[in-house]
Structure 1
Amino acid sequence: MTDIVIIGAGIAGLICAQRLTEAGYSVLVLEKSRGLGGRLATRRLYGTWADHGACYLKPKGELLGNFVQLLRDRHILELWANPTQPDSAPRYIVPAGMSAIAKFLAQGLQIQLNQLVTAIHPTPENSWCLTLESNAELTAKALVLAIPAPQALTLLAPLGETVLGREFIDNLSSVKFYPSVSAIAGYAATSQPLPAWNDQKFTDDAILGWIGLDSSKRPHPQQPVFVLQSSAKFAELHLENPDLQPVGKNMLQQAAQRLALPWLETPEWMQVHRWRYAFPSLPWSHPVLSAQASIPLVCCGDWCGGYLAEDAMMSGLAASVEINNYLYQLPLPNLDFFQLFAT
């Protein structure tokens, strides 16, 4: 039996796992995808790679600022200059891809990828039993769900109010998300001259939310690569489309018209990805959401307390405190968790 199982290998889950592991607990992280990071997603394709989730870090608080400095010292992050607004707030990118941040956070952790949890139930021994898609079962003394609230609700709702409490189910159900569609498009190296900007944000467009020249983040790019992110309303209209290629083409056409770059309509290649739970539209108001269960169960993520990367970090730290209080009250590392990696 493991002390703690954490479902989800995004920022919140990895930070929670690091802190509890450092305290002395046995911790297992389960991730349904083939890679780490959640929205810190990097897609490798056509001899290059592109960030089709979070595209940069923009630190505002002290915690994320300190973490950014650590990653800069390790030459993982670099400043992403904004040629059109040189005095704007600094933004940091990862030349190796944003998922490298998650790989950094995952150092030393016990993680199993491609492991989808399909059911959870309590055992007579007062532990949690998790059933995986492979029909394998795992048991743990405590459980952390570091995944979007709707996904957590799907897993936990079958347990019912008797196990988890009515208030917990209602609070989990209250969290809502905006969807998004991301399109990655690559162009011939001999295309028209590239724009002077690295990215553009659209606040009033029915189709587009953002476009970035992803290849400007890469060392020695072989071709121009753009990443486009849709507006939430456009994503809602097309989220269930079985074929997203026409959706991506629509986004490229809109970008070509808005930016007066007609060649954007004709990429050499394109991949499109749907984010069903891209940004919390109605987040939970606290850093964690704990069940009123006899066995420790805590939910955390960027939807707890806000919607930014720093909110995910704070939520992961808060979840580690909550679980530790339920279990053995071991001494936890300093709240400045980045010090765990400073040696």
Structure 2
Amino acid sequence: MQSGAADETQADVAVVGAGLAGLVCAQRLRQAGLRVVVLEKSRGLGGRLATRRLSGTLSGTCADHGVRYLADQGALTHLLIQTLLQQSLLQPWPTRLEVIESGEHSSPKVAYYTAQNGLTVVAKWLAAKLEIWSGQRLQRLTQTEAGWQLELEAQFDSPANSPLLARSVVMAIPAPQALALLKPLSAELPDLIPAIRSAEFDPCLTVIASYPAEPTEAILPWQAVQLIDHPELSWISLESSKGRDLQIPVLVVQSTPKFAALHLEAEDLQPVGTLLLEQAAATLAANLETALARDRSQPAALQVHRWRYGFVRQPLLERFLSACAPHPLVCSGDWCGGSQIEAALASGLAAAAQIERLLNLNSAQSLEAASPETVFSELMQQLALS
């Protein structure tokens, strides 16, 4: 790479987004010997694999307000779960799941997993040894003779980073966010923009509600409730049943996409959160006759999180999108080739392999003959040893 400005950081690859696809992609490229910088606009890691640390009287308690649990969706998630179980980072949960459909409820046996300290521990484990610039929002992407120039804006109280010059870029963020950043480059990326635009997402609202200390676990017949056809509710979980403080009941309630779309732009989400809790209390009282429904629309503390891109509704068929005009740029995420965690992992691996091909690395030849499962297994083994 040609020399940049004196105050400019140079990297082989800039990965935008520290969700699962971005972290897996970055780890694979780091293990291939490249200098990789991961840019993340949030304070934390994991994207929708999100855990909220609760404060005040709830200090030490947390709630998973994005991805609900990990499940075996294919070969890659199977490898991830088994490795994390061996690392004592995961545990089975829920052991008591209620499913409500058409007013009827059932209690299926499921093989789901969670983490006592929140599912972000998965992202933190995958991020080992990566160079991550947190609290840095990508403002503009420009091609120069030397590579991609990335202009950043510091978020929260994060210190400002120097400009970044990268030989290649991976956009591992939801398609609408990638589209907003790449539209100014539509003349240089004529085939990429329509493909990105075709991916569609549904929103979701998540309510985190905490209640005065009481022995909740002892009086509840369930740890989580999945609602199949409710107009407003899709999920209710007792977060304090995940091996956390059982004396501090914490509920997470997630909306349906339809409900979220109606209230997504509300300036004040607190009344919306209260409405969801009221629906949860009414539904639980009507269907499960559980003590939890008692006064559960009036929590001691209430937080509402807006997931504008909560779930992939219309994914692409491809595992990644790619352009080289003239510098490599690859798009990756759970919206590429699927809609779940398995797709995110597969897309991250595929994006890394494409970057290696476009940068003409010798390791790219060996990847051509290796299956994604083999590559991911080697990646997991290296992380387990680190």
TM-score bracket, shorter-length normalisation: over 0.9
Quick one: distance in 2 between partners of 1:37 and 1:190? 32
Matched, 1:189 2:189: no
Q: Give the corresponding residue for 1:71.
A: 84
Greater shift in the superposed pair: 42-51 or 24-33: 42-51
Task: Return the TM-score normalized by structure 2.
Answer: 0.85
Identity of aligned residues (%): 45
Asked if structure 1 preserves the Cα contact closer than 8 Å seen for 2:223 and 2:238, the reply is yes
Q: 1:197 to 1:294 in 2, by over 3 A?
A: same
Q: Give the corresponding residue for 1:37.
A: 46
Quick one: distance in 2 between partners of 1:331 and 1:170? 31
Code of the aligned partner of 2:344 = A
Asked if structure 1 preserves the Cα contact closer than 8 Å seen for 2:12 and 2:36, the reply is yes
Greater shift in the superposed pair: 332-341 or 272-281: 332-341
Any idea what the Cα deviations from partners look like across 1:34-70, whole Å, max 9, x if unmatched? 0000011010113111100012101121221111011
Aligned match for 2:333, one of 297, 301, 320: 301
SS in 2 for 1:264: coil
Unmatched runs of 5 consecutive residues or more in structure 1: none
Quick one: distance in 1 between partners of 2:23 and 2:42? 14
Q: 1:86 to 1:210 in 2, by over 3 A?
A: closer
Quick one: distance in 2 between partners of 1:235 and 1:86? 27
Greater shift in the superposed pair: 287-296 or 330-339: 330-339
SS in 1 for 2:118: coil
TM-superposed deviation, 1:310: 0.9
Code of the aligned partner of 1:132 = L
Matched, 1:10 2:19: yes
Unmatched runs of 5 consecutive residues or more in structure 2: 1-9, 98-105, 155-159, 286-292, 368-373
Asked if structure 1 preserves the Cα contact closer than 8 Å seen for 2:214 and 2:249, the reply is no
Asked if structure 2 preserves the Cα contact closer than 8 Å seen for 1:168 and 1:292, the reply is no
Matched, 1:118 2:139: yes
Q: Give the corresponding residue for 2:281.
A: 256
Asked if structure 1 preserves the Cα contact closer than 8 Å seen for 2:215 and 2:246, the reply is no
TM-superposed deviation, 1:221: 2.9
| Structure 1 segment 108-257 matched on structure 2, within 5 A | 108-125=129-146, 127-134=147-154, 136-160=162-186, 162-165=187-190, 167-190=191-214, 194-257=219-282
Q: Give the corresponding residue for 2:383.
A: 341
Matched, 1:269 2:321: no
Q: 1:123 to 1:226 in 2, by over 3 A?
A: same
Quick one: distance in 1 between partners of 2:275 and 2:126? 37
Matched, 1:330 2:362: yes
Quick one: distance in 2 between partners of 1:42 and 1:188? 21
Greater shift in the superposed pair: 47-56 or 189-198: 189-198
Code of the aligned partner of 1:37 = G
Number of residue pairs aligned between Structure 1 and Structure 2? 340
| Structure 1 segment 275-294 matched on structure 2, within 5 A | 275-294=307-326
Superposition RMSD in Å:
1.6
Quick one: distance in 2 between partners of 1:87 and 1:210? 15
TM-superposed deviation, 1:291: 2.4
Quick one: distance in 2 between partners of 1:10 and 1:194? 36
TM-superposed deviation, 1:191: 7.2
Any idea what the Cα deviations from partners look like across 1:213-258, whole Å, max 9, x if unmatched? 1110033433111100000001001111111100100000000000
TM-superposed deviation, 1:30: 0.4
Asked if structure 2 preserves the Cα contact closer than 8 Å seen for 1:7 and 1:29, the reply is yes
Quick one: distance in 2 between partners of 1:329 and 1:129? 22
Greater shift in the superposed pair: 99-108 or 186-195: 186-195
Asked if structure 2 preserves the Cα contact closer than 8 Å seen for 1:6 and 1:27, the reply is yes
TM-superposed deviation, 1:279: 0.6
After TM superposition, which residue ranges in structure 1, 4 or more long, deviate above 6 angstroms?
A: none
TM-superposed deviation, 1:194: 3.7
SS in 2 for 1:275: strand
SS in 1 for 2:30: helix
SS in 2 for 1:9: coil
Any idea what the Cα deviations from partners look like across 1:170-197, whole Å, max 9, x if unmatched? 0011111000000000111237764211
Q: 1:258 to 1:87 in 2, by over 3 A?
A: closer
TM-superposed deviation, 1:86: 6.9
Quick one: distance in 2 between partners of 1:190 and 1:130? 51
Task: Return the TM-score normalized by structure 1.
Answer: 0.95
Code of the aligned partner of 1:58 = A
